[in-house]
Structure 1
């Protein structure tokens, strides 16, 4: 028995036509909702399946797009687009707000009960929504220990959970320290989980054509990180029948 339905949604953002994946739980009532941001490579079946899994748990879930319907499997092309994006908080916020507007406009969404979860670049966007003062119930990120402009973390109004691999060369210990110092100074309710032995993008199943130093799938920790995100949502954004 199917417990959820899905549909593709298109919307403008960052001078592109974005193509997102919306998953809806069974029923007709309003439900809490989750925005899901992908890794820098872009929206893939990995994030679509996560949206579907959240819909099975009773959430409205939107996996949003970064690159106008494209998946950037060439590392050079991905970095050429994502590095300027990550250096521009306003651009990240605009992409996040455009997706958030789509999620809020969905009739099944309870607009007062929304969380943002993201991976890599998508996680950085989730954090920027928090720094922009968006009323979120929780923010969860993996591989996205990005810091913001001075003082803006004080606008974050919800708990923040972050996960990172201990051997991630992109989110190295100095980056972890800077992120946690920012959260602590801002008075955020934050948590950091370090997964021993895991590399960057450890949560993402292996893609044969993307092989880069410091990047690798860790199936055991990937499952643990997913459980940690589900636990965060259960705590901060429970589904009530």
Structure 2
């Protein structure tokens, strides 16, 4: 692992001033980079720590914002913002592209080696970037088996890995099937990992505020899902020693 530096970055998207968290490895050489998207509640220390961990492994990492610097702890407020967002691919793509521009603007970022990894709403944003034809090297999602507009998955030009809990009521078997059908029809290089006994947001540590039904932390699968993300990145983004 390597010494890292971090800083807050502000940028416009979705009519808001977004506040992201950028983590950088030591040195000045170009590095592979990861765009990291949060759950629907928004950017928190969970994603900041993940970005830092990725930087320690040699990646440039940007944990991007969804809500203009706000963390939406109340389920009603979170759903009121996220449900319309999830129904609007152009808004999701705009949020993702704005963050991607920030990441690509960093001097250490190798623009030819970028992956997008997201959780929940952040994962949906990552998938929409792929459906929009962005030249990513990999897409990884957890809790985000969202499907896109007909035919647009054919624009995805990289491997896609998705993880979901077997008991997730927000991403039930019918949603899994629809996602798989979309990936197959588009001839995408895809993988789906189902974590037995896990609920929605199983990867996220317990929070001290109300959540939507069907959410629950599963420590063992959370560790496994993180390893799966790292394996995806290691496969698709070669980190120089």
Q: TM-score scaled by structure 1?
A: 0.99
Question: Deviation of residue 211 (structure 1)?
Answer: 3.6
Question: Deviation of residue 28 (structure 1)?
Answer: 1.0
CA distance in 2, matches of 1:125, 1:2: 29
1:2-33 per-residue CA deviation (whole Å, 9 max, x = no partner) reads: 71110000000000000000000011111000
The aligned residue for residue 57 of structure 1 is 57
Q: Residues 1-241 of structure 1: matches in 2 within 5 Å?
A: 3-241=3-241
CA distance in 2, matches of 1:136, 1:211: 32
1:40-72 per-residue CA deviation (whole Å, 9 max, x = no partner) reads: 000000000000000000000000000000000
CA distance in 1, matches of 2:59, 2:208: 32
1:154-210 per-residue CA deviation (whole Å, 9 max, x = no partner) reads: 000000000000000000000000000000000000000000000000000000213
Unaligned runs of at least 5 residues, structure 2: none
Structure 2 contact 35–115 (Cα < 8 Å) conserved = yes
Secondary structure of 1:204's aligned partner: coil
CA distance in 1, matches of 2:238, 2:194: 25
CA distance in 2, matches of 1:213, 1:98: 31
Q: TM-score scaled by structure 2?
A: 0.99
Structure 2 contact 203–222 (Cα < 8 Å) conserved = yes
Question: Deviation of residue 131 (structure 1)?
Answer: 0.1
How many residues in Structure 1 have an aligned counterpart in Structure 2?
241
Q: CA RMSD in A?
A: 0.9
Structure 2 contact 2–58 (Cα < 8 Å) conserved = no
Structure 2 contact 2–57 (Cα < 8 Å) conserved = no
Secondary structure of 2:176's aligned partner: helix
